[in-house]
Structure 1
């Protein structure tokens, strides 16, 4: 019998959310570097400055979105596909599936044959996997009968 539980503490999923948000800045800087190498006109410092100015808004939206999934999560989510119990959990699971599909769709929008785009492809694959971890956390939260109290003791 295999154990299909996803044993991750909530703080780890919060940390991953922050890392994915910070990854946007790294990829933007890398994109500017690629543009500079190819002789295309793009001022990366202006783009990064604009992103930093809008950080409170999009950062709050991202944190609120992740909080919908993680508030009340204690660990021990099941990875197999499930929508959990309750309407809110079903909506959150559907959002997570849509987020995964959207992240994978982003990969189709870039020239994947160019090796310089490998960091972008890896980022969107990680983002798609993270959405599935959020889905598993929301489903786990909706099923309190799962005995996760002894997992981290």
Structure 2
């Protein structure tokens, strides 16, 4: 069964990287990256957490960045937010989107799940603990995603390279 899951993830992963990102990355490179992720997932718990995050990034694809990015994030949250985010994090992001839609300068000036305004590509997902994973991107940046895994795993916060975190950024009052 684990082999079937890996095959399915491989197909999903190749689809995302071959059609959802820039064409410089070949299918072979995508396969190699997927294989390296799979090899690091040595037990079922780790595979579940890594698979959860890979699935999140497969479904959450904000690129076509541009003036409508907030709507893409808002649409994603309304369709998939409960599947991937804690209620608290989802609410905080939606409040920030509403603030932006009202014409104010709000707390987020980048995509919160990529920490970037530019298109970057997911390179690897590494399990850090039972409740956190490191996300590595092709531009050498790294995020740590914190998970709340009480009933099911949900993203509860993101730690950025400068030590700040998404929840704190969203709670800032200027």
Q: TM-score, normalised by structure 2?
A: 0.26
Structure 1 or 2: more strand by fraction: 2
Q: TM-score, normalised by structure 1?
A: 0.28
Q: Which has the larger radius of gyration?
A: 1
